[in-house]
Amino acid sequence: MTSEENIKLAELLFGHEELKIPAYYEALYPYRELGNKAEVTRLAPSPTGFIHLGNLYSALVDERVAHTSDGVFYLRIEDTDAKRKVEGAVDLIIDSLRYFDIEFDEGAGYDDADPVNAYGPYVQTERVEIYHTFAKKLVEEGKAYPCFCTEEELSGIREEQEAAKLLTGYYGEYAICRNWTFDQYKEAFDAGRPYVLRFRSDGSPDKEFIFKDEIKGEVKLPENIHDIVLLKKDGIPTYHFAHAVDDHFMRTTLVVRGTEWLASAPIHVQLFNALGFKLPKYAHTAHMMKIDPETDGKRKLSKRNDPEMSLAYYREEGFHPHCIKVYLLTLLNSNFEEWHKQNPDKNINEFPFSVKNMNNSGALFDMDKLENICKNELSQLQVIEVYDFLADWAHRYEPEKKKIWFADEAKITDIIMLYMGVGQKRRRKDLVNAKQAFDQFSIFFNEFRKQEEDFKLPAEDVKTILKEYLESFDYNDDNQKWFDKISAIAERNGFATDRKAYKADPESFRGDVSDVATTVRIAVTGRSNTPDLWSIIQIIGLEEMESRINSVIKGE
C-alpha cells in the first residue's frame, strides 16, 4: 500500500470517530515537573476482586521507589478484560493496600476532577479514545492493519504450523491480511466483517537485542516477529498496546511488574519505538515461591492452594501490617535486615530502598520467618500501639470479645503488658498475630476459657497438690515467696525442689518442682504453657483463682 492508501485506510477505520490528534495528548500530559532522581511508578492491577501477596510485594517496590525519590506512585486499573471484572474491586484494592500503609498519590480512587489526577482517566476502558488516536496514527504510518481472519482461519494457520513444526502465530507469510490491498480491506470493512487491529512487526526471527532490566541486568531477548493484536474486535486495546500508551502518557519512569511479562518485553520495545515514545525503565520482579511441605521442593505460591497468598488472610488472622512490611522489605532488599537491626528506632520508611538490591532469583515466602519477625516486632512496639491494633482487629473479627474483654481497660492492658514482657528484664516474644493473641488471652476470661490440657500427674496427686496450694496461698505474697511455697509442696510430696537434683537421681523422686507448678498452672489456666503464673493470678484475682482450683478438686 502507498502512504496515501495508508491514510485512506486509517480514515476508513477511524473516520467515524471524533478523535484528537496525537499532539493534543502530548500537550495535555506534559512531562512531570519533578527532581531529576524522581521516579514515577504505578500499580496496574486488573480489577478481579482478588488481591494477593504478589500485588502487595510489587506495590511496596513501587511505593518505596517513588517515595524515597520524591516521585509519584499512582494506581491504574487495567480493566480491558471484561470477563475478569468484578464490582467493588477498585475499593478492595485501595482498602487492602491502605491497611499495609501503601497509599497512592494519584489515580483510580481519587476523583478525576481532583487536581492530583492530572494524567487521567486512570481506568483503561475510559481511555479508548486515546488508544484509537494512536492506533489510527499507526495505520496512517503503515505500522498497523486490520485483520479480518476468522477463528477458523486462525486455527487453520496454527494447525498448518504445528504440522510443519514451526513457530505458531500470526507472522510473516502466515499473516494473511498483512499484505492486502486497500481495496481488499475496504471490501471486507464495507461488508461489516469483524476485525482486530494488528501491529505490523518489523522484527527479524534471527535477531536478538539486549534488554536492560533494573533487577536482572542485561538480558538477551529475541526480536518480536508476531503481528500482535493492538485492538480487539470491540475496539478495546490489548495489554501490550494499552501499556505503551498509558505508561507514556502517565509519564511513568519505572515499570515494576511480574517476571511473567519479561517475555513480552520485545513487543513493548517495538511498540514504544513505532509510536515514537521513550521507553521507560523496567524492573521485572521474581515470583513468590514457597517450599512445598509435601515435596520439599520450591514452587510458586498459588491462589488456589495457599491461603497465605491472599491479602485478606493476613487481615483476618490479625497480622500487624508493620510486621508484614518488615518481612517484605527483608525479602526485597538483602541489606534491609541488617539496617533494621542497626537502626531499631528509625522508621522503616527511612531505609534507603533500592531496586538494584533486589533479589533476582525469586522471593521465597517462609511463614516461620514471618512469624519470627512478628514476634520480634510486636515485642518492640508501644503497649498502646498493640492495644489499639488488637482492639481494632477485635472490633471487626471478634466483636463479642471486643465488647467484654475491652470493657475493663486496665485488665486488658495488664494482659497485653504481661505477654509483651513490659517491665521484665527482657521483652517477651509471645505475640504473633491478633488471632493467636486472643487465643492466648482467653485464659483470663472465664466464659471463653477452656480446659485445653489434661493433668500430667495422677488425679490423687493433683488433688493433694491443689489442696495444699490453696491452704498455703496468700494473695499478698510476692513472686518469690509464692514460688517458695510451691517448692515446699514439692518437697513434702516427694518431688525434687530443683531440676538438677532430679536429673542426677531420678529414682529417688516422683518428679521435680516444675511438675508441681505445672499442675497448678493447668488448674488455673487450662494450659501448661503460659507466661508467669504468679502474674496471671495477680490479674485474674484471688476469687477467680480459688474458684478454678476448687472446681478441679471437686472434679467438675
Please report, as ranges, the residues that interact with ligand GLU according to CB under 6 A: 44-46, 78, 243, 255, 257-258, 261
What residues contact residue 443 under an 8 Å CB cut-off, 6+ apart?
A: 449, 525, 526, 527, 530, 536
Minimum distance, C-beta of residue 154 to ligand GLU, in the bound complex (Å): 24
Shorter beta-carbon distance to ligand GLU: residue 41 or 330: 41
Cα–Cα distance measured from residue 18 to residue 185, given in angstroms and rounded to the nearest whole number:
22
Minimum distance of ligand GLU from residue 81's CB (angstroms): 9
What are 503's three cell numbers? 536429673
Q: Which is nearer to ligand GLU, 88 or 352 (CB)?
A: 88
Q: Which is nearer to ligand GLU, 261 or 397 (CB)?
A: 261
Based on the number of CB atoms within 10 Å of its own CB, is 295 exposed (0-12), middle (13-18) or buried (19 or more)? exposed
Instruction: Closer to ligand GLU by CB, 258 or 362: give it.
Output: 258
Task: Using CB atoms within 10 Å of the CB of residue 126, give its burial: 0 to 12 exposed, 13 to 18 middle, 19+ buried.
Answer: middle
CB of 104 to ligand GLU, least distance (A): 14
Given the complex with ligand GLU, which of 260 and 447 has the nearer CB atom?
A: 260
Residues with Cβ < 8 Å from 371, sequence gap 6 or more? Answer: 432
The span from the CA of 286 to the CA of 493, in Å, is: 62
Angle subtended at Cα 363 by Cα 360 and Cα 364, rounded to the nearest 5 degrees? 140
The cell numbers describing 66, all together, are 517513588
Rounded CA gap, 507 and 500, in Å? 13
CA-to-CA distance for 434 and 437, rounded, in angstroms? 5
CB 264 within 8 A of CB 240: yes
- In the bound state with ligand GLU, the residue whose beta carbon lies nearer, of 242 and 536, is 242
Nearer to ligand GLU, 74 or 110 (CB): 74
Question: What's the closest the beta carbon of residue 130 comes to ligand GLU, in angstroms?
Answer: 17
Q: Rounded to the nearest whole angstrom, what is the least distance from the CB of residue 298 to ligand GLU in the complex?
A: 22
Residue 136 CB, nearest distance to ligand GLU (Å)? Answer: 24
Determine which helix (DSSP H) or strand (DSSP E) holds 271, and give its type and residue range.
helix 265-275
Question: Any idea which residue has 499442675 for its cell?
Answer: 519
Nearer to ligand GLU, 41 or 379 (CB): 41
Q: How far is the CB of 76 from ligand GLU (least distance, A)?
A: 8
CA dist 502 to 331, 505, 506, 528, Å?
46, 5, 5, 20
Distances (CA, A) of 304 to 96, 147, 307, 332, 466: 19, 37, 8, 24, 50
Instruction: Output the smallest distance, CB 48 to ligand GLU, in A.
Output: 8
Which CB atom, from 93 or from 374, has the smaller least distance to ligand GLU?
93
Give 78's contacts (C-beta < 8 A, 6+ positions apart): 44, 45, 46, 47, 124, 239, 242
Find the shortest distance in angstroms from Cβ 235 to ligand GLU.
Answer: 19
